[in-house]
Amino acid sequence: MSIRAKGQLVTERVVEMMERVGLDPRYLKRYPHAFSGGQRQRIGIARALATNPEFIVCDEPVSALDVSVRGQILNLLVELQNQLGVSYLFISHDLSVVRHIAHRIAVMYVGKVVEVTETGELYQDPKHPYVEALMSANPVADPRRKVERIILSGEIPNPANPPPGCSFHPRCSYAQELCRQQVPALEEISPGHRVACHFASELDLRGAVR
Amino acid sequence: MTDRTFKPQPEPDGDVILEVEDLKVHFDLDDGLLKAVDGISITVRRGRTLGLVGESGCGKSVTSEALLRIVPRPGRVSGKILLHRRDGGQVDLAKLDPTGREIKDIRDGEIAKIFQEPMKAFSPVHTIGNQIIKGILLHVTRDKNEARDIAAEMLTRADVPNAAERLSAYSHELSGGLRQRAMIAMALSCHPSLLIADEPTTALDVTVQAQVLQLIKDLQGQFDMAVIFITHDLGVIAEMADEVAVMYLGRIVERADVDTIFYQAHHPYTKALLASVVDVGREARSKLATIEGTVPIPLNLGKGCGFYSRCPIAKDGICNREDPPAVEVGEEHYVRCFKYVYPDEWGQP
């Protein structure tokens, strides 16, 4: 359905959208600075939904929010997707948040996808050494769960001047000569699970702690 | 790897470095009295880490500013901030002139701070070497060559590669992770007995965060420092803290050792915070617990518990009439909630 409306119809639609994202329509005439961070994120979501899109790009939508408010926004996004059937491309550096919301995850490193698969599989059985390190670095809110961290040395390379071969090889503890010379292709190692690592099928990597 | 029965034994008490009692930071504003910090008490021990947790606006950062006496105007600091000094003496920082000589000696010398944004710590127009060396010359030695050597050694200890060359770099020439390390090196170059870390890893990627957290732990061990670690991230708290103080609206609502906070939280706010954590152990896409509303602005607050307006178990006539006192519900476990003052009112305590 395309939306081309004027005057009263627009207002009705805006009110509908505000209610849908949990904002009081009485605040219709307020300016953005009069809202809290969580409310502003709701406004952003309402605006994104206003034209009935099929696909929404969510770029770090909850990173700046406090934990209690982050829960509200994640609940809202899940609920809206269940109601409206929209697709999300959800961009985040927070592994716990993407695991919560995503059905499928692609992990990027220096401009390339290094691994892509279903969410559950990625966390239980990662095949790329960078993904293994990411999983182990993610802090877990449980003082009794002592995790053996993989501390990567060095930093993410400058994408203008990436290392030869596999971009991850200078920081990878499994790297071999081949990795320094040849860029690994993103290959399917099982149905729906693609990895860009020369040794993906040989390495025995650890998933996220459970 | 996972041992759920593990209960850390409390280590023998380290020497107390800092005792804070009834610390208040109030701002007289045109709109009224803003109580950013309203009567908090904490104790910090050598070699131990106190985690200060809370959402934005709860007073965590103002607390750290008060400890260094760098609260902006028109903030008024009152209460007691007793620092046990290296020479064996004691000084109440709350009584010092914030522009005086003694507090300047203590700042960066005995108490150092690292920030979320290292750009704030460094001047953009001086090399990081000059800035680190300046502190060392002020607090450690008057010999310029020795100061330079100490600065390079600190950068090396903070895992900054090519440390000697980096001394002549400007802060904008370093990557985010390196800048964070350089700031840590600067903060620790005078071997402070207390390090205040205010959200030091919030802006970093997880892999870099893991490096920086490890670095802080290593250096804490080497220098036997006390650390106050301020963050809203409960995952980081679980990893770094020995004791935890949960702040809400300028007050500490619950205080205990880290295991107790995560496994036997008593305060409704602590419980709600823990329930709202998105964790890899939780069922994906399940509805997350949330706290209704947002943290109120601590302006012209009336009497009563600050969490009253959002609390799921609040009782009218009790919680909104006076301030809840701190109740000791277990060994070294304090909670400010009327449920533990009048357990009968809530049925089961």
Could you tell me if residue B130 is inside a domain? no
**A80, A136: one domain:** no
Instruction: Report which of residues A132 and A70 the model is more confident about.
Output: A132
B238·A100 Cβ contact <8 A: no
Examine the domain organization and report whether A108 and A94 are in the same domain. no
Q: Say how far apart CA A102 and CA B338 lie, in whole Å.
A: 41
B215, part of any domain: no
- Residue-wise pLDDT tens digits, B162-197: 888 899 999 999 888 888 889 999 998 888 999 999
Region B297-326: mean pLDDT is: 90
Q: How far is B88 from chain A (nearest CA, A)?
A: 34
- Average pLDDT in chain A: 89
Pairing mode of beta strands B194-198, B226-231: parallel
Domain count for chain A: 2
How many angstroms separate the CA atoms of B279 and B76, rounded?
A: 39
Predicted confidence at residue A194, as pLDDT, reads 97
pLDDT value at residue A77: 92
Mean pLDDT in residue range A168-183: 95
Is the pLDDT reported for residue B6 higher than 50? no
In a domain, B314, yes or no: yes
| Amino acid present at B71 | V
Given this model, what pLDDT does residue A4 score?
A: 64
Residue A101 clears pLDDT 50, i.e. is over it: yes
- What's residue B12's pLDDT? 44
Q: Residue A91 contacts by C-beta under 8 Å, 6 or more apart in sequence?
A: A57, A58, A59, A60
Same domain, A69 and A147: no
Digit-coded pLDDT (tens) for B83-100:
998 888 899 999 999 999
Q: Is B89 part of any domain?
A: no
Q: What is the CATH number of the domain that holds A19?
A: 3.40.50.300
In a domain, B274, yes or no: yes
- Are B96 and B107 within 8 A, CB to CB? no
Cα A57-A38-A99 angle, rounded to 5 deg: 50
* Domain shared by A91 and A116, yes or no: no
Report yes or no on B181 lying in a domain: no
**CA-based nearest residue in chain A for residue B282:** A100
Judged by a CB distance cut-off of 8 A, whether residue B276 touches chain A is yes
pLDDT score of B348: 61
Which segment of B79-93, B158-172, B278-292, B324-338 scores lowest on mean pLDDT? B278-292
Instruction: Specify the pLDDT at position B1.
Output: 39
User: Which structural domain range is residue B312 located in?
Assistant: 262-280+287-346
Answer whether residue B267 is part of any domain.
Answer: yes
- The per-residue pLDDT for range B37-61, each reduced to its tens digit, is 999 999 999 999 999 998 888 899 8
Q: Residue A82: how many CB atoms within 10 A of its CB?
A: 10
Test the A interface: residue of B230, B279, B311 with most A CBs within 10 Å = B279
Residues A80 and A49 in one domain: yes
Quick one: A94 and A6 in the same domain? Answer: yes
Residue B177 has a pLDDT of 81
Is residue B205 within 8 A of residue A156, CB to CB? The reply is yes
Q: Pick from A36, A69, A102: which residue ends a domain? A: A102
Same domain for A209 and A122: yes
Q: Which H helix or E strand runs over A190?
A: strand A187-190
Of the residues A79, A102, A125, the one at which a domain ends? A102
* C-alpha dihedral, A119 to A121 to A125 to A126, nearest 10°: -40
Q: How many structural domains does chain B have?
A: 1
| Residue bearing the bigger pLDDT, B280 or B75 | B75
Gap between the Cα atoms of A20 and A45, Å rounded: 10
Pull the structure tokens for residue A159. 């994408």
Domain that holds residue A93: 1-102
B228 within domain boundaries: no
Residue A67's pLDDT is 80
Average pLDDT over residues B126-130: 94
**Given 3-state DSSP classes, what are the helix, strand and coil percentages for chain B, each rounded to the nearest 5?**
30, 25, 45
Q: What is the pLDDT of residue B43?
A: 94
Q: Are residues A206 and A133 located together in one domain of the fold?
A: yes
Task: State pLDDT tens for residues B225-279.
Answer: 999 999 988 999 999 999 999 999 999 999 999 999 999 999 999 999 998 888 7
CA dist B206 and B197 (Å) reads 17
Helix residue ranges, H only, chain B: 60-68, 101-106, 128-139, 144-157, 163-166, 176-188, 206-223, 234-240, 258-263, 268-275
The answer to whether the beta carbons of residues B167 and B127 sit under 8 Å apart is yes
Separation of first and last alpha carbons in chain B: 35
pLDDT at position B120: 79
pLDDT on residue B5: 40
| Proportion of chain B above pLDDT 70, given as a percent | 95
Measured CA to CA, the distance from residue B33 to residue B252 in angstroms comes to 19
**One domain for residues A37 and A96:** yes
What's the average model confidence in pLDDT over B105-110? 88
Question: How many CB atoms within 10 Å of residue B30?
Answer: 4
* A201 and A107 in a common domain: yes
pLDDT at A187: 96
Calculate the average pLDDT of chain B. 89
Burial B279-318 (b: 16+ CB within 10 A, else e): bbeeebbeebbbbeebbeebeebeebbbbbbbbeebbeeb
Q: Torsions phi, psi of B53, nearest 5? A: -115, 150
Contact B151, B189 (CB under 8 A): yes
For residue B52, give how far its alpha carbon lies from the nearest alpha carbon of chain A (Å). 15
Tokens representing B51? 């985690």
The minimal CB distance from A139 to the residues B2, B236, B281 is found for: B236
Rounded to whole angstroms, the Cα distance separating B98 from B115 reads: 20
Check whether B288 has a pLDDT greater than 90.
no
Contacts with B173 from chain A: Cβ below 8 Å: none
The minimal CB distance from B233 to the residues A139, A142, A144 is found for A139
Q: Provide the ipTM.
A: 0.80
Best mutation target among B208, B276, B283 (most A Cβ atoms within 10 Å) is: B276
Please indicate whether, in this complex, the C-beta atoms of B279 and A148 are within 8 angstroms of each other: no
Tell whether the model's pLDDT for residue A94 goes beyond 90.
Answer: no
| End position of a domain, from candidates A102, A132, A163 | A102
> Is A145 in the same domain as A42?
no
Helix (H, G, I), strand (E, B) or coil at B79: strand
pLDDT(B220) > 50? yes
How far apart (Å, rounded) are the C-alpha atoms in residues B92 and B87? 15
